[in-house]
Amino acid sequence: MIPYDDLGLVNKSFEDDFKKEFNAILSNGWYILGKYLKEFETSYAAFNKSAHCIGVANGLDALILALKNYNFNQGDEVIVPSNTFIATILAVLHNNLKPVLVEPDINTYNIDPSKIEEAITSKTKAIIVVHLYGKCCDMEKIVPIAKKHGLKIIEDTAQAHGAMYKNQLTGTFGDIGCFSFYPGKNLGALGDGGAVITNDDDIAKKIRQLRNYGSEIKYYNEEVGFNSRLDEMQAAFLSIKLKSLDKITAHKRKLANIYLENLSDDFITPQVHEHFFDVYHIFNIRHPKRDAIREHLLQNNIRAEIHYPVAPNKQKALREIFKEKSFPISEKIHNTTLSLPCSFCHSEENIYKVVEALNKF
């Protein structure tokens, strides 16, 4: 069986270093907000060419704290893509703000810049762009729109560690970049984890307070904060893997290229653009017979996944919010997309087998 992913195998090459750091942390008895977190924050800020990195508990919290930092008024509006993972929308709702969905470009799956301005009202305060599947959004068009209307840009970079547009890294185009280190990400922890990056000293200071009960000095609380801290063990594990992130990305890009060069034209594959450096957190194809293809692959001992089977506006939790809205492009993507094996655990031989099975469908 070729798995969609095998995290045990992905992390096997890091095992000895993980155990060494785990034993050191266990022995020193300092498990939260210690030297390992500081070391990771310094390293990850440098990797992203950013002034600050603040480790938090997970990617959703990164988004929640990014919005909380601005103290927007209840009911203010935040633009998000209509085909994003639900976490992006939950972050808006948890801040008592109104999510305004904008359709994606059917070719890139990222928010369509040409549709943003028509969604802006007097209550719009921010745009959350989502660099979906590992491809940067068209920030060259989005940034001027935000500046024109005085909007903040928060980047949901959960799936795009190291992705670039014109050699500029995702997470650095706007005001705040938000990351998830969920285990399946290109830079994945051994549990939940997240981070915020920014070049703004005041934002960095406030988010550091917000993640730690609103406190900068222990027992002295300046903000109504949260408990959302990247712990020492996850920070240590991430520091180890960060040294190999470029290697992981290069491997995934090599596997993606096998698909791109060998898959039949029957399948809609990710578009490749000259100025975009894609990291292929997810390698997706689209086909009207998606479910039959997934079953065909399973019969050939290959597992594929769907990211994501239900459009946000169709989710039970959100149905009432968007009940009078229609998002046909998003729904078309959700109904036809299929994610193929493309992990650090896979060999080139694995991918050629997937191609062979797909081309026989």
CATH number for the domain whose boundaries are 245-359: 3.90.1150.10
Task: Band the pLDDT of 117: cuts 50, 70, 90.
Answer: very high
Using omega within 30 degrees of 0 as the cis cutoff, is the peptide bond preceding 308 cis?
Answer: yes
Name the residue among 303, 276, 293 with its Cα closest to residue 360: 293
Which contiguous run of DSSP H or E holds residue 22? helix 15-28
Task: Give the DSSP per-residue string, 195-226.
Answer: EEEES-HHHHHHHHHHTBTTEEETTEE-S---
Q: DSSP class of residue 281?
A: S
Write down the pLDDT at residue 210.
98
Mean per-residue pLDDT, 136-142: 98
Res. 3 pLDDT band, cuts 50 70 90: very high
Please tell me the predicted confidence (pLDDT) of residue 99.
98
Residue 97 has pLDDT above 90, yes or no: yes
Q: What is the pTM of this model?
A: 0.98
Per-residue confidence (pLDDT) for residue 185, from 0 to 100? 98
Are 285 and 331 in contact by the 8 Å Cβ rule? The answer is no
Render pLDDT for 282-322 as a digit per residue (tens, 0 to 9): 999 999 999 999 999 999 999 999 999 999 999 999 999 99
Q: Which residue has the tokens 């470029």?
A: 246
Banded pLDDT at 324 (limits 50, 70, 90):
confident
Q: How far apart are CA 333 and CA 181, in angstroms?
A: 25
Q: How far is CA 33 from the centre of its chain?
A: 24
- Over residues 225-244, the pLDDT tens digits come to 999 999 999 999 999 999 99
**Rounded-to-integer distance, Cα 139 and Cα 145, Å:** 10
- Enter the tokens of residue 343: 């992990």
| In the chain, domain spans | 7-102+111-242, 245-359
Q: What is the pLDDT of residues 38-48, one digit of tens each?
A: 999 999 999 99
State whether CATH 3.10.20.340 applies to domain 7-102+111-242.
no
Q: What is the pLDDT of residue 243?
A: 98
The 10s digit of each residue's pLDDT in 153-199 is 999 999 999 999 999 999 999 999 999 999 999 999 999 999 999 99
